[in-house]
Structure 1
Amino acid sequence: MKYKKIREEELKNKVGADWFKQFDTTEILGNIDFTLFPKQDSLFGRAPLLWAEAKTGNFDIPTMFVQLVLTIGKARTFDKTLPPAFLGAFDFKKIAFVDYINIQDIFYLNDFNWNVTPSNHDTKEFKLIKERIEAVLKTKTYVFDYQKDEKLLNTFIKNNVAKATTKSKIKIDKNNFIPIYLRWIEIVRPIIDVNWDDLKKANIFDSDFYLADIFVDDKGTQNIDDDLTIRDSLFVVFQNQGYKIAKENIKQMFDATIIIRNKDAYLQFWKLYKRPPIEEFQDYIIERKDLLVPQDIRERKGAFFTPRIWVELSQKYLTDYLGENWQDDYYIWDCAAGTGNLLTGLTNKYNIYSSTLDQSDVNVMHERIVHGANLLHNHVFQFDFLNDDFTKLPQSLQEIINDPEKRKKLIIYINPPYAEHGNRTTFAGDGDHKASVATTSKIYNKFNKIVGTATRELFAQFFLRIHDEIPDCILASFSTLKHINAQNFLKFRQYYKAKYEMGFICESNTFDNVKGKFPIGFLIWNLSDKKEINKVETDIVNKYGEFYGIKSFYAFGRNDFISSWLRKFYDKNNAVIGYLILPGVDMQQQNGVYITLKPTDSDIAQHKTAIITKNNLVIMTIYLTIRQVIRPLWLNNRDQFLHPNENWTSDLEFQNDCLVYSLFEGQNKVTSKDSINNWIPFTEQEVNAQNRFESNFMTDFINCKIKIENETDLFENSTNQPTKREFSEEAKDVFDAGRELWKYYHSQHNVNVNASLYDIREHFQGRNDKGRMNSKSDDEKYMELIGELRNKLNFLADKIKPKIYEYEFLKE
């Protein structure tokens, strides 16, 4: 065998390095074991080449493929991102490939339970899939032994995988033909060589060209020359690699073929979609071609829009939850509509209501209706959702809200304004004036005493009114995840009761005018099922709208946060050796957590300080460490730090690792300019100091020469208190690197003998005109030493990280 007695992760790494080194094998896509992408992305996003199942040992090929199919089907990965050219399976001995297109129909089985565990080979679902695909695999699978078929495998990868384009395209149906049209307008319309104004006079629109494009048989190829129209009755048809006007009374005016100026861009666009549309939806699309209207939405200054990609994806999630015919079976009200772009792509105008605060936005929507937007004039109206009474609503909408049964069929579909009292940035909605009403609305006054500070945020006010005054409806909304896990939403969660159904999160910077990087979610709530929020599991999508994993958010109670743990160790009775500055308990507050000898008046006034003494030094350094070693990314930006379990108390190595990390971490901002520096981790002899230190507290503490009182609060029992601290190899490496830096500093002239690490950095790096410390120094020796210290500190951080989750300071 090529590979023996290695773990699955190592097998995946070796297969990637040995056979696919010219590709990107680093992408993590949900629970799929192994993915393969070209190293370069195209203009239209990532084009996957292979999704594969990996197994240790010598495994049955059909069994591996079945587990892969169930993994893909359970997460609906095939529907959330562009499928690959190949599916694969490999173990220690062999690797197998099958064209995805040969088994893609398995994912469209009706009445199939995809929620089974893929690794359970005894379920009826596993056996059913195996029975369905075994015959295909016998004739369509390419199997290679790593050793016997080495040359053949390399040739197959070079000639097939490397040159593959994704063969399985997104199928066009009744729910996505409009969003695809909106993308087509951006990419294809500009490269059609025609005078659109002349065509418009003859009542020929860009939508006619779009229909000509989708109603062709592409013969399953990427070639434009074999595309053949299947509908001669259209106003415009695709013919001879271009377009012909087929409308009888005007085709003489446009007799020549209308050409495509950039055929490469055209082919790139259409390789994403399977043409023609699914047969059962073709007549529907033709009958409802009136829904394809020219894009003349005006963006007023100060108006914000939900990005088109998230409009499309949110409607896809509603389809998954409510069924294919949801737009006919349910009523839809966007009560924070702006100029109405969230409703783009909806088909049944008789079931759609749209309201917004500003009459000017209503005027824009009415103008769009004149130009063909799929809305009813009298279903679009001005309404201040946070202040107006429901008696101002159209009578037909009042009847829905007042009827308990119809109310269950009402979807409040919104991207509400995201403004907070004192913050003039809006994440979406109708303009920055929303912030000024955050604490003046009737809804704020009604709920302020009930749910507290959560009412300062406008999206929460929308949720509260919907929850109270439109009970049993469905709420489908974009928002941050604050209402799920934030500390200041505790009272909100105690009040708001609803069942979470499904949703996705994306990065905030995909929205206009949003600062910072954090998750924005589209979540669907069933308000007729009054459940407490405990855990919300969302799909994660990248900037292209492609699914690549699942993220959980947890609803915590007052005593679940790390602040309640830290309070147990507050000490106001012993000598102060420093202050821990601690703002909020979520990941985004990381830069605000640091150690100092001199807190600001503001920090003291806002109760953001904790005194550090000999008795709680270890605890405070644990706190600083866990707040710093996990770096904030958009995905974890709103994660909350929690009250840990008790297992950390008996882990002395973890405690000592945190102590060492905090001594050398950049957020240790102790400076001897503020007070006596008790934080020097070395003796004078170790660093060849030019004079005696004012304080040897830290080395005495490290060597257990300082008695810790009430040690049973820190250690599992009093006998566990060490007589000498033992450090891990990673911690020792940090000490060694730090010692060399201190030595170099003390070899300079006119140094501060009591300098802290912060003082040493300032000495070599200096400050700029604005008083900020420079990031670099001209001293090459110093840069080498500080670089080595940071490198060793990173190794120590990597050792600490798993224990943060093991001891539940954070939850995954």
Structure 2
Amino acid sequence: MNIEEKKYQKDFCDKYFGKSTWEQEVLNHVDVLLKGLRGEKLLYIEFKYRIGGESQHRRALAQAILTNKKQEHILDKMGLAFMDAEGHDVLEIIDCSDNSVMYNNDINWASETPSDPSVDAVDRIDDRVRGRVTVYRDDDIRELYKSLRNGRGTEIQITSRNFSVVYNEWKNTIHFEREEKDEQELINLFLVDILNGTKYEEVVKDGMADAESKDGSRDVAPTLFGNASENAQWFMHEGTNLGKYELEKCCRRVRIVWDNYIIHAVSDKEGYEQFWRRYHRPPELHEYEQILEHSAELYTDKYRRDTGGEYTPSCFVSLQNELLARHYNMDEFIVCDPCAGVGNLENQFGKEYKQHCYLSTLERTDVDICRIKGFDNAVQFNYLKDNHQPRWKYRGRNSTINEIAQEEGRKLMVIMNPPYTRKVGHKYDLAIEFFNKVLGMRPDVVVYYCKTEFFLRPTVESFVKSGYHVQEHVFSNAKETFKLSEWPISLVIFDKGEGRDITGDTVTADRYELDKKAARLKFVRTYTYDNRRPDLIKEIEKEIKAHMDGMVLGQYSYLNSVLKVSNGGKEKTSKITTGNLKWCLLSKGLNFNTHHKYFEWNYLVYRGLVDEIPEELFTDAIMFSQFYKGMLFSNKMTDEGGNRVNNYIMPFTHEELGCGVNDLNVLFPEREVSVFGENTERRFDFREFMAQFSYSAEAKALYDAALRVFLYYHRSGRYADRDWNDSFYDIANAIMGKDVNAFKTLDKTDDHRITKTKTTKGTHGFGRNNLRSVVPDDTLPMFYDFFDKRDALAVKINQELLDAHLLLWKRENVF
């Protein structure tokens, strides 16, 4: 054995077998002995580094059989391991249990040497083992090892942990005489094939309609196609009854037959049988149920792209069908989708029901894909081109969907996920245009995907005017489900006669979040949005703009709909002045949640009028605003001319800081020429501004805790270039090692839009968890006390907002 082969042997065993379960070069020239739990001999393995062709492979098989024959304890199986031409690790298991393999006397066993078998021995052994070799590659080898160690032999158990691997091997190994292009049908065939004709005895519910109720219970739910029989012993995959497939093995052929008339014949029976020698069929019942539940994982990325899986994900389609099952029997309906794409919304209805689906789509290629998937009633039609409705071929005539529904004696259900975009020539978002036009079909039910904001804006009038009711309104995060940015996306079931009235005043919707492990949407809670009351933050902004008189102190802007305040502003329209300062601080102190989630964006949950803000809440907000991020007033910044900009927002008095009365900045009209004409404004002292308010105990506690941080900064001697007017922003940055005037030149020298950009890259924010490395340990309790007091006031402000009915609900995140 050469060095390369020996190294490969060790690497192979380390990769696939557990420690202390194998030995090298033991017994009578056995390359590797694989041992059981009690040290018993499980498998002898003959190793080769690479096998170049068929003749080398035949010779290696003979060497393996001869090695087994030379042992005192001959095993009923033998292993041959090597790397194939594509670089895959291979372990072949040779079945030696038949007497014709190990005990046939036409081979002179005694004269044969395993390392150099004769040509006659190679030929005779090849004849004996043909059809008795089972091939395992890569991860399958690890599963085989587990099976051997657990006493299950060489058959790998099919489980929810390896079914994707098994499926990919299956579809690349087993081929049908008529190629199956529809991947959904191919998955159906696989799910039937792994049962190997087995019918489980346990009662099984329809997995597709097994909806979880809002209270977390799992009552037996009706299916989409009528109530499931209590004694049903069949499984469903995306609406298709797998019990209607039969696996037939007869006349040296293997066939999977659907409903006694659609035949899928395996083209290579020998290859089929060789493949299934690797795996134990059927899986355990609980494993098969898990495989069904996660079967959406089997679709390839290309299939998802080609069939619309990237537009309406399967988790949303499954939820759609669960909701429909709560209210309707689909056997009473025909379905129309006027913007079907490739029929993804109807994809889980199953083979039999697709004949009742009538799809129209813009692209011809999408029509072809729909028909491959079994939607024969698919037509190309530009739905928003004019006022006409599409027609379908029905029993020799071109018919409208209403004519077809009448002929079938069924009600009409429209299901659609229209595009969410504005387009020239259309008054509304295209999704609204689709909704308005389908009303001309007079459907009994409309299943509609849209932006949740359509219900929170004037566009809700389209739904109000429709006269329909809401049976179900659920929403989730477009980022997690549709892989888009973070915003709420809704699935709404409108019903002509049943459900909640639509008024536009309030909107009630159920929030679902994606459980990635289970690959399904799970109910979280119900929310009610109030459209009747004004946006409180916008009401405060009206006050900011209405009181923009006096001297300029700085400027404000919004980031994530939260106010930021800073120096400058003389040339801006968004000025902070001595006249509107209290309104700016109020906005910043009430609306400080920068991590608001899609379901409780700030502009959605703050509702009310400025006059409804209690006095204590008002002053709590004034205090909190000064000691939280976004308070960017600085005494260290320089303007474009290199001149330092003064900070006038200093809450602490000279007595509290221990400085001189004249050390603190006061804004005088004669020193800062007003842009508003005559200098009639009196001087501005922020301490006097603060003194006009009365503060709660919690606000005072934060003030005192912040003062101790300021005093530490001034007295510790750890920080250079200190000034009594240094702001909370300056002090927090200094403690964390940030330079507020640090700049980084852009990489692109030809970028004329901007030449420098502020950066604090590589530094940490001023926070509880980042302090240990930048301040002495004995000062940590002081800093922790500051954060505790700030957190307490933030929680109090949120509770005050709730008590004053200015916040719709208790938020998941205070900050």
Q: If the TM-score is normalised by the length of the shorter chain, which range does it land in?
A: 0.5 to 0.7
Match of 1:738 among 706, 731, 735: 706
For 1:692-771, what aligned pairs fall within 5 Å after superposition? 692-695=663-666, 697-704=685-692, 725-728=694-697, 730-747=698-715, 748-763=719-734, 764-766=737-739, 767=742, 769=744, 770-771=757-758
Structure 1 equivalent of residue 760 of structure 2: 773
Q: Helix, strand or coil: the match of 2:494?
A: strand
1:753 is displaced (CA, Å) by: 3.5
1:757 is displaced (CA, Å) by: 1.9
1:801 is displaced (CA, Å) by: 1.3
Q: Is the 8 A contact 2:309 2:344 kept in 1?
A: no
1:478 is displaced (CA, Å) by: 2.1
Structure 1 equivalent of residue 597 of structure 2: 633
TM-score (norm 2): 0.55
2:625 and 2:585 map into 1 onto residues whose CA distance is 6
Which amino acid in structure 2 is aligned with residue 333 of structure 1? C
Distance 1:560 1:655, change over 3 A: closer
Which amino acid in structure 1 is aligned with residue 368 of structure 2? N
1:666 is displaced (CA, Å) by: 0.7
Structure 1: gaps of 5 or more residues: 1-182, 222-227, 239-243, 276-291, 420-437, 448-454, 584-588, 705-721
2:437 and 2:626 map into 1 onto residues whose CA distance is 50
Q: Is 2:327 aligned against 1:358?
A: no
Distance 1:299 1:789, change over 3 A: same
Q: Is 2:432 aligned against 1:460?
A: yes
For 1:638-649, what aligned pairs fall within 5 Å after superposition? 640-644=604-608, 649=613
Structure 2 equivalent of residue 684 of structure 1: 654
Match of 2:317 among 311, 320, 323: 311
Structure 2 equivalent of residue 343 of structure 1: 346
Structure 2 equivalent of residue 440 of structure 1: 424
1:387 and 1:534 map into 2 onto residues whose CA distance is 33
Distance 1:496 1:593, change over 3 A: farther
1:534 and 1:593 map into 2 onto residues whose CA distance is 28
Which amino acid in structure 2 is aligned with residue 390 of structure 1? H
Structure 2 equivalent of residue 539 of structure 1: 510
Q: Is the 8 A contact 2:338 2:383 kept in 1?
A: yes
1:354 is displaced (CA, Å) by: 1.9
Which amino acid in structure 2 is aligned with residue 622 of structure 1? L
Structure 2 equivalent of residue 258 of structure 1: 276
For 1:555-570, what aligned pairs fall within 5 Å after superposition? 556-557=531-532, 559=534, 562-564=537-539, 566-567=541-542, 570=545
Which amino acid in structure 1 is aligned with residue 504 of structure 2? I
Q: Is the 8 A contact 1:499 1:526 kept in 2?
A: yes
1:158-194 per-residue CA deviation (whole Å, 9 max, x = no partner) reads: xxxxxxxxxxxxxxxxxxxxxxxxx999945725865
Q: Is the 8 A contact 1:564 1:643 kept in 2?
A: no
Structure 2 equivalent of residue 211 of structure 1: 192
1:229 and 1:537 map into 2 onto residues whose CA distance is 37
1:680 is displaced (CA, Å) by: 1.0
2:303 and 2:285 map into 1 onto residues whose CA distance is 27
For 1:142-291, what aligned pairs fall within 5 Å after superposition? 187=163, 190=166, 194=170, 198-201=174-177, 206-211=187-192, 216-217=199-200, 235-236=246-247, 258=276, 261=279, 269-272=287-290
Which amino acid in structure 2 is aligned with residue 375 of structure 1? F
1:799 and 1:293 map into 2 onto residues whose CA distance is 50
1:797 is displaced (CA, Å) by: 0.9
Structure 2 equivalent of residue 157 of structure 1: none
1:629 and 1:750 map into 2 onto residues whose CA distance is 33
1:612 and 1:263 map into 2 onto residues whose CA distance is 78
Q: Helix, strand or coil: the match of 1:537?
A: strand
Q: Is 2:660 aligned against 1:662?
A: no
Larger helix proportion, structure 1 or 2?
1
Q: Is the 8 A contact 1:562 1:809 kept in 2?
A: no
Q: Helix, strand or coil: the match of 2:514?
A: coil
Q: Helix, strand or coil: the match of 1:355?
A: strand
Q: Helix, strand or coil: the match of 1:664?
A: coil
Larger strand proportion, structure 1 or 2?
2
Q: Is 2:456 aligned against 1:485?
A: yes
Q: Is 2:404 aligned against 1:386?
A: no
Match of 1:793 among 790, 793, 802: 790
Distance 1:337 1:392, change over 3 A: closer
Identity of aligned residues (%): 16
2:361 and 2:787 map into 1 onto residues whose CA distance is 53
TM-score (norm 1): 0.55
Q: Helix, strand or coil: the match of 2:176?
A: helix
Q: Helix, strand or coil: the match of 1:810?
A: coil
1:599 and 1:781 map into 2 onto residues whose CA distance is 38
Structure 1 equivalent of residue 42 of structure 2: none
Match of 1:549 among 505, 524, 541: 524
Structure 2 equivalent of residue 526 of structure 1: 495
1:314 is displaced (CA, Å) by: 0.8
Q: Is the 8 A contact 1:408 1:474 kept in 2?
A: no
1:577 and 1:360 map into 2 onto residues whose CA distance is 62
1:702-750 per-residue CA deviation (whole Å, 9 max, x = no partner) reads: 222xxxxxxxxxxxxxxxxx6xx2332x323322332133223334432
Distance 1:580 1:758, change over 3 A: same
Which amino acid in structure 2 is aligned with residue 658 of structure 1? A
Structure 2 equivalent of residue 590 of structure 1: 560
1:771 and 1:209 map into 2 onto residues whose CA distance is 57
Q: Is the 8 A contact 1:188 1:269 kept in 2?
A: no
1:440 and 1:653 map into 2 onto residues whose CA distance is 50
Structure 2 equivalent of residue 508 of structure 1: 478
Q: Is the 8 A contact 1:597 1:670 kept in 2?
A: yes
1:537 is displaced (CA, Å) by: 2.8
Match of 2:447 among 476, 481, 490: 476
1:260 and 1:460 map into 2 onto residues whose CA distance is 54
Structure 1 equivalent of residue 59 of structure 2: none
Distance 1:701 1:787, change over 3 A: same
1:693 is displaced (CA, Å) by: 1.2
Q: When the two structures are aligned, how many residues end up with a matched partner?
A: 529
Q: Is the 8 A contact 1:594 1:624 kept in 2?
A: yes
Structure 1 equivalent of residue 807 of structure 2: 810
1:342-365 per-residue CA deviation (whole Å, 9 max, x = no partner) reads: 221124223212222233323333
Q: Is the 8 A contact 1:193 1:260 kept in 2?
A: no
Structure 2 equivalent of residue 414 of structure 1: 416
Q: Helix, strand or coil: the match of 2:713?
A: helix
Q: Is the 8 A contact 2:539 2:610 kept in 1?
A: no
Structure 2 equivalent of residue 400 of structure 1: 401
Q: Is the 8 A contact 2:663 2:724 kept in 1?
A: yes
1:664 is displaced (CA, Å) by: 0.9
1:384 is displaced (CA, Å) by: 2.4
Q: Is 2:336 aligned against 1:333?
A: yes
Q: Helix, strand or coil: the match of 2:475?
A: strand
Distance 1:187 1:339, change over 3 A: farther
Q: Cα RMSD over matched residues?
A: 4.8
Q: Is the 8 A contact 1:537 1:551 kept in 2?
A: yes
For 1:72-111, what aligned pairs fall within 5 Å after superposition? none
Per mean C-alpha deviation after superposition, the further-off stretch among 401-410 and 506-515 is 401-410
Q: Is the 8 A contact 2:537 2:603 kept in 1?
A: no
1:401 is displaced (CA, Å) by: 4.9
Distance 1:694 1:503, change over 3 A: same
Q: Is the 8 A contact 2:338 2:416 kept in 1?
A: yes
2:617 and 2:550 map into 1 onto residues whose CA distance is 25
Structure 2: gaps of 5 or more residues: 1-158, 181-185, 205-232, 236-241, 258-262, 640-644, 667-683, 745-756, 766-772, 810-815
1:526 is displaced (CA, Å) by: 2.8
1:313 is displaced (CA, Å) by: 1.4
